Structure 1
Amino acid sequence: MELECYPTTERPPEIVPGRQERAWMDHFAQRHPYRCLPLNMANTSGWEILSPVAFTAEWTGGLHQQDIKLTPDHPNPDFHRLASSHFSHGVLTFHPGYLFRTPPGWSMWVMGPPNHVKDGIQALSGVVETDWLPFPFTMNWLFTRAGKVRWEKGEPFCFITLLEDKTLHAIQPVIKRMDRDPELRHQYDVWEKHRSEFNQRIFRQDPEATKQAWQRYYFKGEFPEEVAPARQDHVMKRRLKAPKWTR
């Protein structure tokens, strides 16, 4: 399978596999958030499109296009092709610089980088049928208050991943009592017992529990007390391929 990326500008932004690191995660003692596997997997389950320039976006709080001012740190002939105030009402618009084509039945989920927090502005998300679309889309951010927001050179302004969404309408959510699945009920009860006991030991500052610091059942794809075999298809790290040029 291929994700085809067709540049629409002479010097398109760089696309890189999603990176795990986040500044706010680094600032925790012992980088604690990196122990959360779902966070790490979300951060790396797609590709980042990086800003080729550093710039400041400032919104006055007004509703017109001219109420957003964009100022690159240095003169750049391509800046007007990267960012603009197109939709008004405090919406900052980026042009990814590519027309994407996905395999049949696959759409593209366009969003801000997962767990990448920016004060004063919020990434908007969209799902695009890139398996047929013959023109590019935009990536948009909504100011949440008047003020300035910075983008550094190499900072992602867009995150793309693929979604096999055509069959979502066929899925029926069903709410069930867990007792209807005795095996699942047992697995959950064992996990809950271990989790409660471990948290109590941490609260009491038990030396062994404090040294262990956190339970690794999900991180390692294991079950407490071996109530079931460890998952062989469990993924602990995602390594996506970087784009390559073809002629």
Structure 2
Amino acid sequence: MELECYPVSRNPPELVPGRPDRAWMDRFSARHPYRCLPLSMANTSGWELLSPVGFTAEWTGGIHQNDIKLTPDHPHPDFHTLASSHFSHGVLTFHAGYLFRTPPGWSMMVMGPPNHVKDGIQPLAGVVETDWLPFPFTMNWIFTRPGKVRFEKGEPFCFITLLQDHPLHEIQPVIRRLDSNPELRHQYDVWEKHRSEFNQKIFRGDPEATKEAWQRYYFKGEFPEEVAPAPQGHVNKRRLKAPKFG
């Protein structure tokens, strides 16, 4: 299966597999947030589009296009095709530089890089039917307050991933009592017991628990006390393919 990437600008932004590291996660003692597998997996479950130049974006708080001022760190011949004030009302627009084509039934989720925190500006997300669309989309961020924000050279301004969204309307959410599923109830109760006991040991300063630091059931794809076979296909590291020329 291929994700086809057709450049529509002279020098399209670099497209790379999602990278796991985040500066705010690095600043924690022992890089603690990386123990949260869902965070790390989200960071790498797609591809990043990188800014080819560092620049400052400033919003006055006004509703007009000229209320956003964009200043690149140095003259860049393609900056005007990268970022602009297109939609007004404090919305900063990036042009992806590619026309993407996905396999039939697959759409593209266009969003900010997961868990990439920026003060003063918020990425907007969209779902695009790239299995038929013959023109590119834009990636938009909205200022949350007047002021300046920075995008550094090499910083991701867009994150793309794929989803099969067409069958979503067929899915019926059903709320059930946990007791209606005895096997799942047992698995949950065993996990809750282990979790409570482990947290109490941490609170008391138990040396073994302190050394272990955190429970790894989900990270390792295991159940406590072998309450059930380990799930098949568990993934705790994702490295997507880099683009190639075809």
Q: TM-score, normalised by structure 2?
A: 0.99
Consecutive unaligned residues in structure 1, runs of 5 or more? none
Partner of 2:90: 90
Once the two structures are TM-superposed, the CA of residue 98 in structure 1 deviates from its matched residue by 0.3
Once the two structures are TM-superposed, the CA of residue 134 in structure 1 deviates from its matched residue by 0.3
Partner of 2:60: 60
Matched residues in 2 for 1:185 and 1:157: separation?
A: 43
Partner of 1:174: 174
Matched residues in 1 for 2:80 and 2:43: separation?
A: 29
- Give the aligned length: 246
Partner of 1:160: 160
Secondary structure of the corresponding residue to residue 235 of structure 2? coil
Percent identity at matched positions? 84
Matched residues in 1 for 2:52 and 2:8: separation?
A: 15
Partner of 1:14: 14
| Structure 1 ranges of 4+ moved more than 4 A | none
Partner of 2:143: 143
Matched residues in 1 for 2:58 and 2:136: separation?
A: 26
Partner of 1:35: 35
Partner of 2:78: 78
Over aligned residue pairs, what C-alpha RMSD do you find? 0.5
1:185 aligns with 2:222: no
Consecutive unaligned residues in structure 2, runs of 5 or more? none
Partner of 1:239: 239
1:210-238 deviation per Cα after TM superposition (whole angstroms, max 9, x unaligned): 00000000000000111011223100101
Secondary structure of the corresponding residue to residue 62 of structure 2? coil
1:129 aligns with 2:164: no
Amino acid at match of 2:149: V
Secondary structure of the corresponding residue to residue 117 of structure 1? coil
Give the stretch that moved more between structures: 45-54 or 226-235: 226-235
Q: TM-score, normalised by structure 1?
A: 0.99
Give the stretch that moved more between structures: 84-93 or 222-231: 222-231
Secondary structure of the corresponding residue to residue 190 of structure 2? helix
Amino acid at match of 2:17: P
